[in-house]
Chains A and B, each alone.
Chain A
């Protein structure tokens, strides 16, 4: 029986809101158009990430895919980042297309806008999943078979929905309180479903690469591909090692200086030199293995923070009140049929806006701060609410009672 590494990378960039004040509300509707030099400039950030991560990583991945026919990867790539690549880095977008053209890359389904719509509006959620599917078909010529919800938000309802929608698999965090004594290194079946399969992230192995790789205080530093493959080989009965992480791990979260590209370049060769070892995409591993058990997840889990719940996005009053206000506009916004207005409303649904408002570790200046273009969570909230009020103003101009 073969053992497969399931390497799944998530590619995403939000439309960050510029410094948008009360005095811009009802005057300018350009929430996402910061000056190029500003911290919140989407164009500048995209250029930086394309240069540091997408282009060099894809060059290596393409080489590896060509050199090792057994090497496979799965990618999820949001609608908002595809749009930004089309606009500001066609070169990087082409490099993703080149990966897909090898036939060794599978694209995973998700919401177009990287939103939390599943928890606020099922109709809007389904619309965004469809938008994403069409975009992927149009840009990459594939139809996704496996679903991942934003930030790996998962519970029994997500699985039930994905099963009914015809997906063959769904992704989730392999969180200990859920798995209990079980290992994430197998295929599972979600409760209350028959057809669909559940793949759970091996967060220890994933985080060795995504978070700990460049940490010189870490007892395993420096981590080589050979050493990493050795760890996996010590698991005798595992069928699949689910290495799920942000794509930007390569070159952005872990800088080139850390040696992350060298690790990536050596991983396929070092893993494949042991007989029986292979790589699979998410669909392939589901097709190849029967589920070993049923996993019940009544509460929502995610892949974020030590809590692995929604508290990074919906943990304080700023977050819950602003997202609630936004979804409160849904019926009025959709009814206008105004594409620009609806699209702006959808861009504001991107979960990153609420992540920036997270206050739980604000004082520690931690990972939330690393990913936020704003100095404080409060600044993020003020910009967001002023944009929200502008949506209301635009509705009122169309004669909608607000």
Chain B
């Protein structure tokens, strides 16, 4: 076992009437926030906290690094390990970060060493903090949450945005990470899963009882989407669309979890039937070169365009240039990108193995392994603009009703139930 809990920790129940007199305080443990984020986790934490901050709630968000986020709706603290003056992040999650120590020396630490440092740093700084409940996001912060529970006896809520088998692409993944998730979920007071898909995975991988896990879907802050400009950065694709070409887009990390080889196999079948189809792959990751080679070997190198990692206008315009957005993930706990695609006017095909497929009815859906069906559905949209437009119209109608309010209301309920001492 990685964890030792002290035998005599005390569970301090707060008197309800006393609590109502003051604002509830949440210690939020997270790994990243925009704009210093590498993916969906940072965005989800940001938007969730922004929505929660509208409630009568005081949030202290503890990050492993110091940076200017331009956030005014909550307090942000950096849990630097002792003796570290600065942490320099690389752009990509799971990469090593550079730690600058007080004596001026530098050290690169891998992700596992970083979460250990974070755990110890959090344990140190909570002594000066006042809070009622701990809400931790993903395994990197789970050990820190357990430490706080051990020291302070407060309830801990673990928010699961992804689990190890998702990230590893349907295998056990890293056994150390697996053990951290296993132990902490058993010791948690409550688990929030971002989808029913994730809840099932947690039950399958860690034998957690169903009634300990609450499904609270992520959402999208529609006002957060920056508007498009008149010109599109993909001038070539724009020109080709006017000549009858159609564009299929994927945005995401090029990693095993995202299931992109299957999209390329499907692309080959689509291009055989509709040669005027481009597949635009936006992102970087360890599969980049593998996918590039696969596309060439399948004989569709002329139709598959790789842009590498993009942000800002080029990212927005990638969503907008598509006739169809495809998210073929092998396992996607939630999956924000298809919602962003709707926001930029593009309908989506998503895998059944995704959380977002539970939220929007008017997506096309397919099993990630079913290449023929994936090709079939992509071809249908490419060859039929009416289908594309109808899908978009109906998805947009659902999209208009999305907001984080529903998620934050339900999270408030979770907090209240735990602080009132009434076990759910």
Contacts and interface: CB of A to CB of B under 8 A. Distances in A.
A23 B314 contact: yes
Contacts of A390: 236
Interface size class of B (residues with CB under 8 A): 20 to 34
A321 interface: yes
A49 to B, nearest CB: 30
Interface string B269-311: 0000000000000000000110011001111011001110000
A22 B239 contact: no
A183 interface: no
B236 A25 contact: yes
Contacts of A322: 296, 301
Contacts of B306: 22, 382
Interface in A312-331: 316-318, 320-322, 325
Interface residues of A, number: 28
Nearest to B299: A321
B244 to A, nearest CB: 9
Interface in B218-271: 233-236, 238-240, 243
B305 A26 contact: no
Interface string A173-217: 000000000000000000000000000000000000000000000
Nearest to A326: B302
Contact of A378 (B240, B243, B288, B302): B288
A282 B266 CA distance: 54
Contacts of A376: 289
Contacts of A318: 292-293, 296, 301
Nearest to B301: A321
Contacts of A392: 240
B236 A317 contact: no
Interface in A330-389: 359, 376, 378, 381-382, 385, 388-389
Contacts of B301: 317-318, 321-322, 325, 381, 385
A393 B236 contact: yes
A389 B305 contact: yes
Interface string A5-45: 00000000000000001110111000000000000000000
Contacts of A393: 236, 239-240
A316 B293 contact: yes
Contacts of B293: 316-318, 359, 378
A396 interface: yes
A402 interface: yes
A322 B293 CA distance: 11
Interface string A153-184: 00000000000000000000000000000000
B296 A26 contact: no
Contacts of A388: 302
Interface string B4-37: 0000000000000000000000000000000000
A284 B314 CA distance: 61
Of A316, A359, A390, A402, the most chain B CB neighbours within 10 A belong to: A402
B236 A389 contact: yes
A325 to B, nearest CB: 5
A395 to B, nearest CB: 10
B296 A22 contact: no
A381 B296 contact: yes
A378 B234 contact: no
Contacts of B240: 392-393, 396, 402
Contact of B239 (A26, A316, A317): A26
A321 B236 contact: no
Interface string B105-135: 0000000000000000000000000000000
Contacts of B296: 316-318, 320-322, 381
Nearest to B234: A22
A295 B289 CA distance: 42
A27 B235 contact: yes
Contacts of B298: 317
Contacts of B239: 26, 393, 396-397
A325 B302 contact: yes
B235 A25 contact: yes
Contacts of A378: 288-289, 292-293
Nearest to B291: A378
A167 B289 CA distance: 44
Contacts of A21: 307
Contacts of B238: 26
Nearest to B317: A23
A323 to B, nearest CB: 11
A363 to B, nearest CB: 12
A392 B302 CA distance: 11
B233 A23 contact: yes
Given A25-B236, A26-B235, A393-B239, A321 B302 contact: yes
A376 B308 CA distance: 14
Contacts of A316: 293, 296-297
Contacts of A359: 293
A118 B233 CA distance: 38
A317 B236 CA distance: 24
Contact of B236 (A22, A381, A401): A22
A325 B303 CA distance: 10
18 contacts: A21-B307, A23-B234, A23-B307, A25-B235, A317-B296, A320-B296, A321-B301, A321-B302, A325-B302, A359-B293, A381-B296, A381-B301, A382-B306, A385-B301, A385-B302, A389-B302, A390-B236, A393-B239
Given A23-B234, A317-B298, A321-B299, 14 more contacts: A26-B235, A26-B238, A317-B293, A317-B296, A318-B292, A322-B296, A322-B301, A325-B302, A381-B292, A381-B296, A382-B306, A392-B240, A393-B240, A396-B240
Q: Which 7 pairs, one residue from A and one from B, show the smallest C-beta to C-beta distance?
A: A317-B297, A26-B236, A317-B296, A321-B301, A25-B236, A321-B296, A26-B235
Interface of A: 21-23, 25-27, 316-318, 320-322, 325, 359, 376, 378, 381-382, 385, 388-390, 392-393, 396-397, 401-402
